[in-house]
Structure 1
Amino acid sequence: MDRHERPARPATPARAARSGPAPALTFLGAAGTVTGSKFLLEGEGARLMVDCGLYQGERRWRALNWEAPPVDPASVDAVALSHAHLDHCGYLPALVRGGFAGPVHATAGTAALAAVILRDSAHLQEDEAEGARRGGWSKHDPPLPLYTVADADEAIAALRPVGDAVVRVGSAGATTVTFVPAGHILGSSSVLVEMGEASVLFSGDLGRPDHPVLRPRARPPAARTVVVESTYGDRTHPEVDPEHRVMADAIRRTIRRGGSVVVPAFAVDRTEIVLLAIADLVESGSIPDVPIWVDSPMALAALEIYRDPAHAGEVRPEALERLRRLSGLREAHSAEESMRLNTPGTPCIIVSASGMATGGRVVHHLRHLLPQARNTVLLTGYQAIGTRGRDLQEGVRELKMSGHYVPVRAEVVTLDEFSVHADADELLTWIGEMPQPPESVHVVHGEPAAARALADGIRDRFDCAVSVPRYCERVLLD
């Protein structure tokens, strides 16, 4: 046996007689880090990838985006997406460029959002390569994008919305994929894969029980093996303040000194949650009624998808109504409108992607507004190691953007109430809701300390084998 192949449990006598190799699971991403989710399942005549995300954060992980993948893309039969965040779907265009020609199965909400996210990512890839060429700050000559808009369009053409159907994968059709609502963002799901006698439940990113915009997640189904995220595996979220007092205080302080508030927010879901909180603060009189700009074409497109009646079954109707009452909402569609916000002339709130300030329009806002002490940056969620958001959170005095260092004089405030990732207790509760305890659990999608902490918690509570996989580790599933 290869040293990376570990049976989850010894085969029972009934299973020992089966013919052919046992199904196997390989961790191609989100192992040792919190991004880049990719998992390969092989067996029963099928080769299925669950999630196909980009690495973000530290350079050593981002470099893997550019390396040849550990599996030949042309050999993969299908991909199943848990949800549309870039670290779960953003590598799809590169996979297609490498020869993948199969279907990409996803819920209708995920397919709609992924189309927006992949095109935006491709545009950013092309823009950054061109900016590096013009600025001369790239180590490569010429600098090239990881993938192009044409590659993204091919990946989008492969998306197959599944509805409530169970999907069959592989030549024999013996592998099935079922999507179970996860309550993280619109369309997000846990993914159950049944491959012969093996069954694996991928949590995807799990939402919290009280998501302010979406209806609650479903209970998890039974599975012998669980692959669970651990983004917040070493902590519990603080109680949510319904009055958002920390946020309100920061906004009032900034407006009094004539500054602007910049909110780096993920274009999908986080923007809706932030706008909902601002709407409540304006309606209660807790903050002045100043212009509130959404400056992200992707966020504006996602907002329309959330409002689409086709997805009404997932969204709390009262949340949409509160958003409609936000009188000061403005939309910056063009680059010219976006640039004017760097010198707005009057205090305002700018909500712009990306949430960790790794790219997008928020980067040029930070470049112009960070040097001025009257402004404020509100960080509204998890900031991965190696991102600009994490650097700001940790108090850096200068921040590097587009080859230049920018002084950080603006106030930086971290808000802990906007996360829509389940915390450690909620992750354990989710596993405990399974009809039977799993036989083995693999803890992924977390920084090492968070993953180890959640693994310890699972060992303490459940009678099962637990691992924190290494990158490219392979385990057997019989």
Structure 2
Amino acid sequence: MEIEFLGGAREVGRSAVLVDDALLLDYGLLTGDPPQYPIRDPEPDAVVVSHGHLDHVGAVPALLKGSRRPTIHWTPPTAELARTLARDTLKLHGNSPLCPFSAEHVARLGEVEERHGYGEPFVVAAGGREYAVTLFDAGHIPGSAHVLVDSGDTRLLYTGDFHTDDQRLVSGTTARPDADVVVCESTYADVRHEDRRAVEERWAERVRTTIWEGGTVVAPAFAIGRTQEMMLVAANADLQPYVDGMGVGVTEMLRQYPTFLRDPEAFRRATSGARFVTGRDGQRERIADDNELIVTTSGMLAGGPVHSYLPVIRGNPTNAVTLTGYQVEGTPGRELQDRGRMEINRRVRPVSATVESYDFSAHADRDGLESFLDDYADARVVIVHGDRCESFAADLKKTGFDASAPELGDRIDV
């Protein structure tokens, strides 16, 4: 088996792993200005997608150009999320060269997709060979999967993104299928998460205190996974948030797939208790002035309804912005986190509102990665999807693992 790394090697974003020049695992993009896509345009016979985040699925419609029709395999939530993200990409970049696909390519997804549940092996024909593929719950977001590819000679486990601890939205992964080779993400390889319940309690106390003092809390959150997690955390703390942005539609979609949720009844209660924003007739400005909790996209403040709320609340120290996820270097969220300022309406402005960061990550931390890999001490381990892939691989080698961190474009035989 030969593996080529078209993206996600020694970087976070544009994940794309090509097996035997025929079977593609993920095909994402790296957000930025401009966005970056995998380093070359492959022509696979089949694609398996680990989960519905932009950096893993964002470029998949581009694989359906011209006469190309590779079969695309994914879970039902991932299929729905892929379409949501593709439509949003078209809205942002559809009339520019920055977008490598059109609405027609998105529509073609329905012609080629096959949906699968967890633990249900299926056969994928690619490059004149047949592979037995099985998806396992990865504990990252609803529908996220570890991908096990068995060629008959080699068993390759592609972890995708995963978490070993429970979140309120999904349970942590417990799957440890036998594998000869593990391609493992390493996003938080240099971090140890704070206890999740302690983070929740600290965040809820900040929200209660701010509202009691007469302020408004804006909680920027990624639309897929984080928005729904924050709704569940809020509901558990008897808080009733407003929810705005793409996360509203994603929430409604996930209600159709209760088997992919940790606690469907808790999710139902959380969605019933939340108030969804329509954005009509100055609604956002009124809410921002009304001492409320607002969970809204985008998670890194790069766009979306959050830019309707921040100009209203930024000048009052009684208000608060609670960042709920990692802020990538160069994003408005990172600028706010590090320097207390951000670009609003094309001008860089100071933000006097309290700004705090909370670790609600959906990725395994260093301890989680090591506990996962403990089951693969005899396998070959390939580290990807991280800012410090080389150092993590080196640390694993010191403890006896056969570990490496390939560069973009590398091909390895396993």
TM-score, L = length of structure 2: 0.89
Shift of the 51–243 alpha-carbon distance from structure 1 to 2, 3 Å rule, reads closer
Q: Distance in 2 between matches of 1:167 and 1:366?
A: 50
Partner of 1:278: 234
Match for residue 410 of structure 1? 353
Query: What is the one-letter code of the residue matched to 2:158?
Result: F
Q: 2:50 aligned with 1:85, yes or no? A: no
Partner SS, residue 392 of structure 1? helix
Q: Which residue of 2 aligns with 1:160?
A: 114
SS in 2 for 1:255: helix
The within-5 A match list for 1:25-424 is: 25-42=3-20, 47-57=22-32, 59=33, 62-65=34-37, 70-73=39-42, 75-97=43-65, 100-126=68-94, 145-155=99-109, 157-163=111-117, 164-241=120-197, 244-282=200-238, 292-296=241-245, 298-308=246-256, 310-312=257-259, 314-323=261-270, 326=273, 329-333=274-278, 335-336=279-280, 339-344=282-287, 345-394=289-338, 396-400=339-343, 403-416=346-359, 418-424=360-366
User: SS where residue 164 of structure 2 aligns?
Assistant: coil
Contact kept, 8 Å, 1:279 with 1:325, in 2: the verdict is: no
1:53–1:400 CA distance, 2 compared to 1 (3 A): same
SS of 2:108's equivalent? helix
The superposition leaves residues 108-140 of structure 1 with CA deviations (integer Å, 9 ceiling, x where unpaired) of 2221222223223322334xx6xxxxxxxxxxx
The one-letter code matched in structure 2 to 1:217 is T
Cα-to-partner distance string for 1:4-24 (whole Å, 9 max, x where unaligned)? xxxxxxxxxxxxxxxxxxx32
CA–CA distance in structure 2, aligned partners of residues 157 and 358 of structure 1: 33
Q: 1:404 to 1:95 in 2, by over 3 A?
A: farther
Determine if the alignment matches structure 1 residue 437 to structure 2 residue 378. Answer: yes
1:446 and 2:391 are equivalent in the alignment: no
Pairwise CA distance, 1:420: 1.7
2:207–2:217 CA contact under 8 A, matched in 1: yes
AA of the residue aligned to 1:115: R
Relative distance call for 1:306 and 1:242 in structure 2 (3 A) is farther
- Unpaired runs of 5+ residues, structure 2, are none
Aligned residue identity for 1:373:
P
Query: Residues 391, 154 of structure 1: CA spacing in aligned structure 2 closer, same or farther, 3 A cutoff?
Result: farther
What is the one-letter code of the residue matched to 1:437?
Answer: D
Distance 1:173 1:180, change over 3 A: same
In the alignment, which residue of structure 1 is the partner of 2:409? Answer: 472
Map 1:449-464 onto structure 2 (within 5 A): 451-461=389-399, 463-464=400-401
Deviations 1:157-209 (A, max 9, x none): 53320232323121534223221111111111111122352332111011232
| Contact 1:367-1:406 at 8 Å conserved across structures | no
For residues 409 and 15 of structure 2, what CA distance do their matches in structure 1 show? 12
Alpha-carbon offset, residue 368 of structure 1: 4.5
CA contact (8 A) 1:125 1:148 kept: no
Matched-pair identity in %: 33
Q: Could you tell me whether the CA contact under 8 Å between 2:342 and 2:349 is conserved in 1?
A: yes
What does the per-residue CA deviation read over 1:37-71, in whole Å, with 9 as the maximum and x for residues that have no partner?
1111116xxx11111111025x5xx5533xxx544
Aligned residues: 411
Q: Is the 8 A contact 2:242 2:275 kept in 1?
A: yes
Unaligned runs of 5+ in 1: 1-22, 130-141, 283-288
Partner Cα distance (2:390, 2:251) in 1: 36
The residue type paired with residue 31 of structure 2 is Q
In 2: Cα distance, 1:184 partner to 1:408 partner: 32
Q: Distance in 1 between matches of 2:104 and 2:347?
A: 31
After the TM superposition, list the runs of 4 or more consecutive aligned residues in structure 1 that deviate by more than 6 angstroms: none
Question: Greater shift after overlay, 76-85 or 405-414?
Answer: 405-414
With CA pairs under 8 Å and 6+ residues apart, which has the higher RCO, 1 or 2? 1
CA contact (8 A) 1:29 1:39 kept: yes
Residue 151 of structure 1, CA deviation: 3.4
Distance 1:415 1:397, change over 3 A: closer
Bigger-Rg structure (1/2): 1
C-alpha RMSD over aligned residues: 2.6
After TM superposition, the score normalised by the length of structure 1 is: 0.78
> Could you tell me whether the CA contact under 8 Å between 1:168 and 1:175 is conserved in 2?
yes
